């Protein structure tokens, strides 16, 4: 019994010495891990970096989703959408086609009154009835987009100053809708009215992108969507966006100035053949009349038109720059 007690006492003493002496590295590491405070200096230093990296990943994933949605929904706009882009939201497609029919009937009546050939009458109806109204609609839409882009950066600056002064985002958008000139004011007015009836910000921005399909509106929609989902400083993000839009505008002006000489040369070269042809027709009509009366002359005219069109398209491709 005495030997057993002595043996147990020696084992207990040896265990105590082993525990407090720290002879095992694993034990020391385990004790250090237990004794370390959960919010140590190292953890505090690593947490912001991990949060920033995670936020960047979330933003990148969100941008990919936005681009995928845009690519999936990129389709030819309907006639109603084209009318909205041109600034006629209250005009229905039926009214537009009625106007096209009236214009085509007027062109056909004029061609018949001047005793033109059936082929000329058909071409006049097609060009004036379908081509001219659609070209006019596209011209008005492009002019409206250019006017919107010119004033869009100033509208974003108004939003930035409003947010910095403490106003909510909806109130800042309402100020832009009320104070900005059209078409910026009308587009933001439609956005504000949509938000009033319960449409989400993301859905309202998608409608704005459909009504005004420009890169600037796409950038604005991406910034607002990311800020709404991941948070952040909205005024700083929109301020950076306004700076980017102004840089794009300066780049457009620089490109326009650098390509103006090439555009003037292309206009002069493109206008020389028909101009010379018109002068010769006025001075000596019999000399150039063979091009219109003889079959070989008609073939030569068709070839000249084809080559002129090809040359104009090539020059247009050379002097137009994407930015």
Is residue 148 in a domain?
no
Q: Across residues 205-225, what is the average pLDDT?
A: 85
- Residue 255 contacts by C-beta under 8 Å, 6 or more apart in sequence? 321, 323
Q: How far apart are CA 238 and CA 220, in angstroms?
A: 8
Q: What is 39-82 written as a DSSP string? A: T-HHHHHHHHHHHHHHHHHHHHHHHHHHHHHHHHH--PPPHHHH
Is residue 271 in a domain?
yes
Percent of the chain with pLDDT over 70: 76
Is residue 287 in a domain?
yes
Domain that holds residue 286: 255-323
Q: How far apart are CA 234 and CA 236, in angstroms?
A: 5
Q: How far apart are CA 213 and CA 208, in angstroms?
A: 8
The per-type count for the chain, helices as H runs and strands as E runs, is 14, 0
Higher-pLDDT residue of 304 and 59 is 304
Mean pLDDT, the chain, rounded, equals: 78
Lowest mean pLDDT among 35-44, 90-99, 150-159, 296-305: 35-44
Q: How far apart are CA 298 and CA 292, in angstroms?
A: 6
Of 305, 302, 303, which Cα lies nearest the Cα of 313?
Answer: 305
Q: Specify the DSSP class assigned to residue 89.
A: T
Is residue 239 in a domain?
no
Residue 127 tokens, joined = 């060009």
Please, are residues 155 and 176 in contact by the beta-carbon 8 Å criterion?
yes
- Residue 202 contacts by C-beta under 8 Å, 6 or more apart in sequence? 221, 225, 228
Q: Specify the DSSP class assigned to residue 294.
A: S
Report pLDDT digits (tens) over 20-50. Answer: 554 445 545 544 444 444 444 444 444 555 5
Is residue 278 in a domain?
yes
Residue 196 tokens, joined = 């009033």
Ranges of beta strands (E only) in 139-195 are none
Is residue 100 in a domain?
no
Of 135, 127, 78, which Cα lies nearest the Cα of 103?
Answer: 127
| Count of domains forming the chain | 1
Q: What is the pTM of this model?
A: 0.63
Q: Specify the DSSP class assigned to residue 181.
A: P
Higher-pLDDT residue of 176 and 316 is 176
Q: Across residues 246-250, what is the average pLDDT?
A: 85
Q: Specify the DSSP class assigned to residue 166.
A: T
Q: How far apart are CA 197 and CA 200, in angstroms?
A: 9
Residue 278 tokens, joined = 């018109």
Residue 24 tokens, joined = 């095992």
Q: How far apart are CA 183 and CA 283, in angstroms?
A: 49
Banded model confidence at residue 12, pLDDT cuts 50, 70, 90 = low
Q: DSSP 3-state assignment of 124?
A: helix
Please, are residues 179 and 158 in contact by the beta-carbon 8 Å criterion?
yes
Task: Compute CA 74 distance to the chain's CA centroid, rounded to the nearest angstrom.
Answer: 12
Residue 291 tokens, joined = 């091009």
Is residue 74 in a domain?
no
Please, are residues 172 and 178 in contact by the beta-carbon 8 Å criterion?
no
Is residue 108 in a domain?
no
């Amino acid at each position: 019994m005495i030997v057993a007690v002595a043996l147990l006492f020696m084992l207990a003493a040896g265990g105590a010495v082993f525990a407090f002496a720290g002879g095992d590295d694993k034990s020391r590491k385990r004790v250090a891990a237990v004794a370390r405070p959960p919010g140590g200096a190292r953890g505090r230093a690593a947490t912001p970096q991990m949060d920033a990296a995670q936020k960047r990943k979330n933003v990148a994933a969100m941008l990919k989703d936005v681009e995928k949605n845009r690519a999936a929904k990129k389709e030819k706009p309907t006639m109603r959408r084209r009318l909205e882009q041109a600034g006629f939201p209250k005009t229905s497609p039926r009214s537009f086609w009625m106007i096209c029919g009236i214009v085509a009937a007027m062109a056909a009546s004029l061609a018949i009154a001047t005793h033109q050939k059936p082929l000329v009458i058909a071409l006049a109806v097609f060009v004036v009835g379908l081509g001219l109204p659609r070209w006019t609609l596209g011209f008005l839409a492009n002019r409206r987009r250019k006017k919107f882009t010119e004033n869009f950066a100033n509208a974003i600056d108004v939003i930035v100053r409003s947010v910095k002064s403490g106003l909510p985002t909806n109130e800042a958008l309402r100020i832009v809708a009320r104070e900005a000139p059209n078409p910026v004011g009308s587009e933001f007015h439609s956005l504000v009215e949509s938000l009033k009836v319960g449409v989400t910000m993301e859905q309202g921005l998608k409608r704005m992108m459909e009504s005004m399909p420009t890169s600037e509106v796409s950038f604005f929609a991406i910034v607002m969507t990311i800020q709404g989902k991941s948070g952040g400083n909205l005024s700083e993000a929109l301020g950076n966006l306004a700076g980017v839009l102004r840089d794009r505008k300066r780049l457009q002006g620089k490109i326009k100035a650098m390509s103006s000489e090439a555009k003037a040369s292309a206009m002069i070269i493109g206008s020389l053949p028909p101009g010379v042809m018109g002068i010769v027709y006025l001075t000596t009509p019999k000399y150039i009349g063979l091009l219109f009366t003889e079959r070989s002359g008609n073939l030569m005219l068709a070839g000249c038109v084809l080559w002129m069109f090809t040359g104009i398209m090539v020059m247009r491709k050379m002097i137009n720059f994407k930015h």
